[in-house]
């Protein structure tokens, strides 16, 4: 392969995955990854753990620093101010210019914010980047109370972060239950309860109206649309993220909400690609898939797919497999596989089971007619990805899935066998007689799942 | 922190301070009768004459006493060494028994009172601190603030703690005379258990067991809700208390050799030493059982159990070193070095120690059966080098003293020859692995950070690969701290256990082999 210069803007999971996978197939190419945020790749999802004192920044780097030189992936810490697509060059914040043959835009997201009065006050911020984290650490030092606005994944993380430092948190959520635009009501309510168990003042169906000034430019309180005032020294804005593409406006690059790409991640300009959070697909990439995918896993898959296309003869369109995702709400882990919409669809049936502890729950969705398994939500219960990926892509019936629930659990050894309770509940409510395959005494003794 | 906990911490520090001060109290006066009682018959005459200047003299502090004692004996020995009269040199170290005998301290009169004021007070304080931990909090990972803690992230408190532990080990192994008072304090307990006076090893065994029990209770609090951690911790507490502490003392009471039935060669490096073999062979049916059981463990127990369960069955469920690491050492587990370089050093060191132990044992056994003079000398030399460098310096001083500096498994990872043996079986012939859950890893790094063995768990997890590593002791903490349910310790078929070229699930467009 010819020696070409591939420049990637952004060293998050998509950009770095792309760089690594290009290198695997192409010994020759010059690969340069540029980021203004940090020189080295770190795991964005781990930012919260730095704030909580579980780890230091260095622990969040998935590769040791020598890795990049060894694999001849050049790193440059710089902010790109401008892209000159005609001349194929980038202009850095310090005026340096960088030439490219292929440009991959993997610039990620930035926190979304509405035009609230007081949004510019000292102590009001979102959380996305390492800089945001440093700012948050500085602004929350020694404070007593904070408000988090927006009931999504970053919102609950921010609430957990602040609570870990004994800061009282008021959590303002627009929806009537936490994250119920994604979670069905039962699950959302289970999380409501858990949030409150952690001493968080969760206010549902509440919207932010205004952020109040203390007269010196610092936040003093917030006012909600119901007229309540909550005094606080810090306001976290976590109503979502939007593609980080401001520096690309007013160029020839076609933009929508994000950088518009086809299923090969090609933009309207030759040799310019976009992947990860900042990319917006022109056409649907599949049933129930969003046009902007802002998840770690999809970012990784975008990187893998584009790297393949840039370094092998046969190009392939992006074709994600069975949907999966995970999160952790304080102490309760969440995993989902397949399609579990917040409101049950017409043609579907649902089976929900919740443990009496209120911390373990599982939901199975399946089609009414064929009883074909559609998707699963699990709370406080680890599930085997491989198992559910197969069950969904091979269109298993719900009975078959339930009958193998013992094999599908990924909980640590000696955990309570919830699968038995679920099986009983399923048989009882559906009038079925599904059974697990018997495990021999010897297999139990050696603790084998096989 | 609740008031009760602050009080507990205060009492613990008071108890520990008293414990640390006790070695320096009392007076020391050596009498001829003591020399007659403590010194071997062949040395009695000469010792009585060497030590004559000390008889009747009263010392106000042990430093002066021990220094005079050593000076007199050394002067005698130096003279003999110059004359190359090697057979007459007194090689035995009499400083500990003589200091213990010469001590005239209130501790001898009220040992239980002093034991209560130091050790029991510290335990009471520790329990006041530990039992209310996380009370009223939901079950979950309790790692908040670890990297802000001076104690747990190599801050000043950590360095002080490490220094204290190192000092204690140095005294214990090489200068036990200085802690004679502490041994006197536990004499009644030792007599009650085994009918014998305490040695410094009894004191050590007692403190070791108490540390595992007290910090084991802390583990129950910290990992509340995690059954794997709870059962595993209960297991190491049981094995330490019963097998390493009580049963050996009871054996002594029954006039049998001290024996820890769960200790396995080559960790138990002296198992094949002539005095141990003689002891077992001459102790009737029970002695024969010790010998056969020990050999069965080495030859069948280790490979078979490791095949089914991985080396965790020993390292994090049974072993005493592992027991201390998993309880007292748990607050320091994040300090292990995760670099590739450390892994390289680890492989050379740990297998180097294994080779050393095997060679030494081979020479020992050859000597045992051949009784060949030259071999006898080589055996003695090897034993003393191994005992000093590996048994004491590496396992003790570095192994435990460095908990707050290099993590809680320094010995297990870099030095333990049994861990090396178990590791080879685990790596090449076992059903144990840590399964990675498809494509769910988010590379956050909690697993690697909290791996006490310094395995970069994330490196495997993020590429969808199962973790099969010789060093993994199966403590299960990577799985516990994973926020996305990616890791599971399990025993399964050997088929597909090692997947060097994993494919991450989730992407149908391309199959990426990492």
* Maximum CA extent, chain B: 92
Q: Count the helix, strand and coil residues of chain B and give each as a percent rounded to the nearest 5.
A: 65, 5, 30
Helix (H, G, I), strand (E, B) or coil at B451: coil
* pTM, entire model: 0.95
* Residue B438 belongs to a domain: yes
* Residue A449 belongs to a domain: no
* Residue A446 belongs to a domain: no
pLDDT exceeds 70 at position A39: yes
CB of B136 less than 8 A from some CB of A: no
* Residue A315 belongs to a domain: no
Chain B residues in contact with A415 (beta carbon < 8 A)? 227-228
Q: Which among B436, B445, B454 is the top mutation candidate for probing chain A, defined by the most A β-carbons within 10 Å of its own β-carbon?
A: B445
Between CA B474 and CA B457 the distance in angstroms is: 12
* Residue B291 belongs to a domain: no
pLDDT exceeds 70 at position A270: yes
Between CA B258 and CA B255 the distance in angstroms is: 9
Between CA B350 and CA B361 the distance in angstroms is: 17
Helix (H, G, I), strand (E, B) or coil at A81: strand
| The pLDDT of residue B513 | 64
Chain B residues in contact with A439 (beta carbon < 8 A)? none
Domain end position, chosen among A310, A337, A370: A310
* Residue A86 belongs to a domain: yes
Judgement on whether residues A56 and A43 belong to the same structural domain of the protein: yes
Mean pLDDT, residues B331-350 taken together: 98
Domain end position, chosen among B85, B104, B123: B104
Q: Which of A13, A64, A385 lies nearest to residue B340, judging by beta carbons? A: A64
pLDDT exceeds 90 at position A3: no
| The pLDDT of residue A2 | 59
Mean pLDDT, residues A255-268 taken together: 98
| The pLDDT of residue A142 | 97
| The pLDDT of residue B371 | 72
Shortest Cα distance, chain A CAs vs residue B403, angstroms: 18
Q: Give percent above pLDDT 90 in chain A.
A: 96
Average pLDDT, chain A: 96
Rg (CA), chain B: 25
Is there a contact between B485 and A320 if contact means CB atoms under 8 Å apart?
no
Burial string for A109-119 (b: 16+ CB within 10 Å, else e) reads bbbebeebebb
Total domains present in chain B: 2
| The pLDDT of residue B511 | 74
Residue A331, domain CATH: 3.30.390.30
Q: Is B500 exposed, middle or buried (0-12, 13-18, 19+ CB in 10 A)?
A: exposed
pLDDT band at residue B509, thresholds of 50, 70 and 90? confident
Is there a contact between A415 and B431 if contact means CB atoms under 8 Å apart?
no
Chain B residues in contact with A198 (beta carbon < 8 A)? 138
Is there a contact between B140 and A331 if contact means CB atoms under 8 Å apart?
yes
Q: Which of B490, B493, B506 lies nearest to residue A324, judging by beta carbons? A: B506
pLDDT band at residue B168, thresholds of 50, 70 and 90? very high
Chain B residues in contact with A301 (beta carbon < 8 A)? 506-507, 509
| The pLDDT of residue B87 | 85
Q: What is the dihedral of CA A156, A162, A165, A169, to 10 degrees?
A: -100
Q: How many Cα atoms are found within 13 Å in the side-chain-facing hemisphere of A45?
A: 21
* Residue A197 belongs to a domain: yes
Residue (of B435, B395, B419) closest to B472 by Cα position:
B419
Chain A residues in contact with B309 (beta carbon < 8 A)? 446-447
Judgement on whether residues A370 and A435 belong to the same structural domain of the protein: yes
DSSP state of B154: T
* Residue A450 belongs to a domain: no
Rg (CA), chain A: 24
Give first-to-last CA distance, chain B, whole Å: 47
pLDDT exceeds 60 at position B451: yes
Chain B residues in contact with A331 (beta carbon < 8 A)? 138-141
Domain end position, chosen among A207, A239, A271: A239
Is there a contact between B144 and A64 if contact means CB atoms under 8 Å apart?
no
pLDDT exceeds 60 at position A129: yes
Judgement on whether residues A287 and A202 belong to the same structural domain of the protein: no
pLDDT exceeds 80 at position A391: yes
Residue A416 backbone zone (phi > 0: left; psi -120 to 50: alpha; other: beta) = beta
Is there a contact between B145 and A304 if contact means CB atoms under 8 Å apart?
no
* Residue A318 belongs to a domain: no
Residue A143, domain CATH: 3.50.50.60
Q: Which among A54, A193, A275 is the top mutation candidate for probing chain B, defined by the most B β-carbons within 10 Å of its own β-carbon?
A: A54
pLDDT band at residue B480, thresholds of 50, 70 and 90? very high
A349: its two tokens:
């049936």
Between CA A361 and CA A376 the distance in angstroms is: 11
CB of B27 less than 8 A from some CB of A: no
Boundaries of domain holding B36: 27-104
Element (H, E) at A354: strand A348-354
Residue (of A390, A344, A346, A347) closest to A363 by Cα position:
A344
pLDDT exceeds 60 at position A296: yes
pLDDT in tens, A132-183: 999 999 999 999 999 999 999 999 999 999 999 999 999 999 999 999 999 9
**Which of A435-444, B372-381, B453-462 ranks highest by mean pLDDT?**
B453-462
Chain B residues in contact with A13 (beta carbon < 8 A)? 443
Judgement on whether residues A87 and A157 belong to the same structural domain of the protein: no
Boundaries of domain holding A95: 5-110+242-310
| The pLDDT of residue B376 | 81
Q: Which of A43, A319, A333 lies nearest to residue B445, judging by beta carbons? A: A43
pLDDT exceeds 90 at position A58: yes
| The pLDDT of residue A450 | 54
Between CA A302 and CA A372 the distance in angstroms is: 29
Helices marked H in B195-301 — which ranges? 200-222, 227-238, 247-253, 274-281, 284-296
Helix-helix angle B340-370:B417-428, to 10 degrees: 110
Mean pLDDT, residues A237-243 taken together: 97
Is there a contact between A412 and B228 if contact means CB atoms under 8 Å apart?
yes
pLDDT band at residue B512, thresholds of 50, 70 and 90? low
Judgement on whether residues A301 and A352 belong to the same structural domain of the protein: no
Kindly report the number of other CB atoms within 10 A of residue B68's CB atom. 17
Helices marked H in A314-370 — which ranges? none
* Residue B372 belongs to a domain: no
Per the DSSP assignment, residues forming a β-bridge with A320 are B507
Is there a contact between B443 and A56 if contact means CB atoms under 8 Å apart?
no
* Residue B79 belongs to a domain: yes
Mean pLDDT, residues B254-260 taken together: 94
Judgement on whether residues A90 and A69 belong to the same structural domain of the protein: yes
Q: How many Cα atoms are found within 13 Å in the side-chain-facing hemisphere of A33?
A: 28
Total domains present in chain A: 3
Average pLDDT, chain B: 95
Burial string for B228-238 (b: 16+ CB within 10 Å, else e) reads bbbebbebbbb
Three-state SS for B32-47 is: HHHHHHHCCHHHHHHH
Residue of B nearest to A322 (CA): B506
DSSP state of B508: S
Is there a contact between A386 and B505 if contact means CB atoms under 8 Å apart?
yes
Chain B residues in contact with A60 (beta carbon < 8 A)? 444-445
* Residue B451 belongs to a domain: yes
pLDDT exceeds 80 at position A449: no
Mean pLDDT, residues A375-387 taken together: 97
Burial string for B190-221 (b: 16+ CB within 10 Å, else e) reads beebbeebbbbebbbbbbbbbbbbbbbbbbbe
Helix (H, G, I), strand (E, B) or coil at A337: strand
* Residue B190 belongs to a domain: no
Task: Tell me how many degrees the CA angle A36-A41-A42 measures, rounded to the nearest 5.
Answer: 105
pLDDT in tens, B395-444: 999 999 999 999 999 999 999 999 999 999 999 999 999 999 999 999 99
Between CA A59 and CA A43 the distance in angstroms is: 9
Q: Which among B141, B145, B337, B443 is the top mutation candidate for probing chain A, defined by the most A β-carbons within 10 Å of its own β-carbon?
A: B443
- For the ranges A98-107, B75-84, B371-380, which has the lowest average pLDDT? B371-380
Is there a contact between A62 and B462 if contact means CB atoms under 8 Å apart?
yes
CB of B333 less than 8 A from some CB of A: no
Judgement on whether residues A234 and A248 belong to the same structural domain of the protein: no
Judgement on whether residues A351 and A255 belong to the same structural domain of the protein: no
* Residue B251 belongs to a domain: no
* Residue B12 belongs to a domain: no
Chain A residues in contact with B490 (beta carbon < 8 A)? 413, 447-449
* Residue A148 belongs to a domain: yes
Judgement on whether residues A254 and A352 belong to the same structural domain of the protein: no
Q: Give percent above pLDDT 90 in chain B.
A: 91
Judgement on whether residues A304 and A353 belong to the same structural domain of the protein: no
Is there a contact between A326 and B484 if contact means CB atoms under 8 Å apart?
yes
| The pLDDT of residue B514 | 56
Is there a contact between A384 and B437 if contact means CB atoms under 8 Å apart?
yes
pLDDT exceeds 90 at position A448: no
Domain end position, chosen among B104, B130, B146: B104
| The pLDDT of residue B189 | 97
Is there a contact between A412 and B443 if contact means CB atoms under 8 Å apart?
no
pLDDT band at residue B504, thresholds of 50, 70 and 90? confident
CB of B480 less than 8 A from some CB of A: yes
Judgement on whether residues A154 and A229 belong to the same structural domain of the protein: yes
Residue B495, domain CATH: 3.30.70.20
């Amino acid at each position: 392969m010819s020696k070409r210069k591939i420049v990637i803007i952004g060293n998050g999971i998509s950009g770095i995955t792309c760089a690594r996978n290009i290198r695997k197939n192409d010994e020759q190419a010059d690969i340069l990854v540029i980021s203004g945020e940090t020189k080295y790749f770190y795991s964005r999802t781990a930012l919260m753990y730095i704030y909580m004192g579980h780890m230091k920044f260095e622990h969040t780097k998935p590769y040791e620093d020598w890795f990049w030189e060894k694999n001849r992936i050049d790193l440059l810490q710089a902010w790109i101010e401008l892209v000159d697509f005609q001349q194929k060059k980038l202009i850095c914040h310090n005026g340096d210019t960088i030439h490219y043959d292929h440009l991959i835009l993997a610039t990620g997201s930035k926190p979304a914010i509405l035009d609230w009065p007081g949004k510019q006050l000292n102590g009001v911020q979102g959380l996305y980047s390492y800089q945001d984290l440093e700012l948050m650490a500085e602004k929350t030092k020694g404070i007593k109370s904070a408000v988090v606005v927006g009931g999504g994944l970053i919102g609950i993380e921010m609430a957990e972060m602040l609570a870990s430092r004994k800061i009282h948190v008021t959590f303002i959520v627009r929806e009537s239950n936490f994250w119920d635009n994604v979670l069905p009501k039962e699950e959302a309510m289970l999380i409501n309860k858990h949030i409150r168990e952690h001493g968080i003042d969760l206010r549902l169906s509440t919207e932010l109206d205004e952020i109040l000034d203390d007269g010196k430019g610092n936040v003093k309180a917030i006012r909600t649309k119901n007229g309540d005032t909550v005094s606080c020294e810090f306001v976290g804005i976590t109503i979502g993220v939007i593609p980080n593409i401001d520096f690309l406006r007013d160029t020839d690059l076609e933009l929508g909400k994000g950088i518009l790409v086809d299923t090969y991640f090609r933009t309207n300009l030759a040799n310019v690609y976009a992947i990860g959070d900042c990319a917006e697909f022109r056409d649907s990439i599949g049933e129930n898939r969003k046009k902007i995918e802002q998840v770690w896993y999809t970012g990784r898959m975008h990187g893998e797919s584009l790297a393949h296309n840039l370094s092998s003869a046969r190009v392939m369109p992006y074709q994600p497999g069975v949907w999966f995702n995970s999160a952790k709400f304080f102490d309760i882990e969440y995993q989902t596989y397949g399609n579990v919409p917040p409101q049950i669809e017409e043609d579907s049936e649902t089976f929900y089971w919740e443990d009496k502890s209120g911390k373990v729950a599982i939901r199975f969705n399946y089609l009414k007619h064929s009883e074909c398994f559609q998707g699963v939500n699990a709370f406080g219960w680890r599930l085997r990805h491989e198992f559910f990926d197969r069950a969904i892509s091979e269109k298993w019936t719900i009975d078959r899935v339930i009958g193998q629930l013992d094999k599908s659990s990924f909980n640590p050894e000696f955990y309570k066998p919830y699968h038995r309770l679920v099986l009983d509940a399923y048989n009882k409510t559906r009038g079925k007689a599904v059974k697990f395959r018997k495990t021999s005494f010897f297999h139990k003794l050696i603790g084998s799942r096989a | 922190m609740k008031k009760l906990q602050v009080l507990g911490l205060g009492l613990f520090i008071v108890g520990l301070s008293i414990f640390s001060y006790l070695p320096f109290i009392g007076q020391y006066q050596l009498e001829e009768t003591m020399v007659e009682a403590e010194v071997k018959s062949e040395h009695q005459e000469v010792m009585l004459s060497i030590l004559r200047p000390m008889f009747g003299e009263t010392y106000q502090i042990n430093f002066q006493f021990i220094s005079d004692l050593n000076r007199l004996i050394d002067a005698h020995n130096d003279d003999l060494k110059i004359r190359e009269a090697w057979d007459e040199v007194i090689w035995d170290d009499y400083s500990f028994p003589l200091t213990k005998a010469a001590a005239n301290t209130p501790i001898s009169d009220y040992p239980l009172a002093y034991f209560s004021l130091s050790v029991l007070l510290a335990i009471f304080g520790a329990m006041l601190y530990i039992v209310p931990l996380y009370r009223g909090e939901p079950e979950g990972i309790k790692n908040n603030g670890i990297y802000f803690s001076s104690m747990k992230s190599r801050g000043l408190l950590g360095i002080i703690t490490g220094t204290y532990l190192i000092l204690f080990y140095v005294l214990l192994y090489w200068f036990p005379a200085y802690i004679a008072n502490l041994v006197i304090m536990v004499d009644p307990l030792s007599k009650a258990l085994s009918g014998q006076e305490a040695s410094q090893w009894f004191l050590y065994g007692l403190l070791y067991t108490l540390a595992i029990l007290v910090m084991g209770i802390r583990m129950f609090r910290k990992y509340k809700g995690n059954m794997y951690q709870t059962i595993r911790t209960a297991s190491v507490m049981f094995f330490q208390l019963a097998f390493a502490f009580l049963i050996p003392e009871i054996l002594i009471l029954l006039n049998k050799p001290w024996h820890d039935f769960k200790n396995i060669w080559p960790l138990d490096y002296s198992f094949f030493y002539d005095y141990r073999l003689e002891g077992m062979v001459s102790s009737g049916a029970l002695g024969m059982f010790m010998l056969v059981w020990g050999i069965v463990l080495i030859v069948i127990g280790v490979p078979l159990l490791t095949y089914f369960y991985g080396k965790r069955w020993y390292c994090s469920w049974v072993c005493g070193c592992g027991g201390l690491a998993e309880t007292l050492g748990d607050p320091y587990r994040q300090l292990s070095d995760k670099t590739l370089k450390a892994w390289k050093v680890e492989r050379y060191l740990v297998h180097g120690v294994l080779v050393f132990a095997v060679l030494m044992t081979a020479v020992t056994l050859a000597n045992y059966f051949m009784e060949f003079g030259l071999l006898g000398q080589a055996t003695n030399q090897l034993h003393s080098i191994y005992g000093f460098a590996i048994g004491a310096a590496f396992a003790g001083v570095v192994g435990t003293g460095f908990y707050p500096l290099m993590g809680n498994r320094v010995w297990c990872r870099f030095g333990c020859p049994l861990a090396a043996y178990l590791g080879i079986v685990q790596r090449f012939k076992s059903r144990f692995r840590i399964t990675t859950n498809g494509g769910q890893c988010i590379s956050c790094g909690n697993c690697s950070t909290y791996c006490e063995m310094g395995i970069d768990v994330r490196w495997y997890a993020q590429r969808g690969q199962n973790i099969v590593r010789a060093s993994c002791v199966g403590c299960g903490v990577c799985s516990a701290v994973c926020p996305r349910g990616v890791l599971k310790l399990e025993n399964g078929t050997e088929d597909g256990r090692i997947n060097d070229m994993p494919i991450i699930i989730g992407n149908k467009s391309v199959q990426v082999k990492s």
